[in-house]
Amino acid sequence: MKILAIDPGYERLGIAVITEKEVIFSTCFKTLSKLPFPERLFLIGQELERLIKKYKPEILAIETLYFTTNQKTAIKVAEARGLVLYIAQKFGLGVKEYTPLQVKIAVTGYGKAEKAAVANMLKKILKIGPAVKSDDEFDAIAIGVTALSSRAY
């Protein structure tokens, strides 16, 4: 089972393609802040379509939004998340959504785990190369592990 896991964003989008055994692909896809927002969404869409065609995942796992501060940012991230969900439907992927709490519990067993603890546990669970350094990548991988651990596919 291949899972395309997404940590949603529009400036930085964490992306991972994983199986039960390994991380096949991961990246932090970035868009330039000087670009108009619609163009940034377009670039994200193009990248996701390219990755879906290349890796042929069956499931999209995505984190739900949780914001306590910047509402302007939250709205744009929500719009980017909507784009991701649209593309998943366009390609017939099953969609699984998880809260940050669910992700932390699935990976570490503790809902208030720090990012470093999540990253360390992921390195023990899956084959993760040293090139993975971005928090956004680790978040995407953790979301994918959550989908695998829930066996909700």
**Catalytic residue numbers, as ranges:** 7, 63, 136
Beta-carbon-side half-sphere exposure of residue 115 (alpha carbons within 13 Å): 8
Taken in order 96, 102, 104, 108, the sign of the CA dihedral is negative
Report d(CA 142, CA 65) in Å as an integer. 15
Closest CA to 75 of 134, 130, 10: 10
Closest CA to 124 of 139, 108, 143: 108
Report d(CA 12, CA 8) in Å as an integer. 8
CB 29, CB 51: distance < 8 Å: no
Q: Which own/partner pairs from 121-124 qualify as long-range (CB within 8 Å, at least 24 positions apart)?
A: none
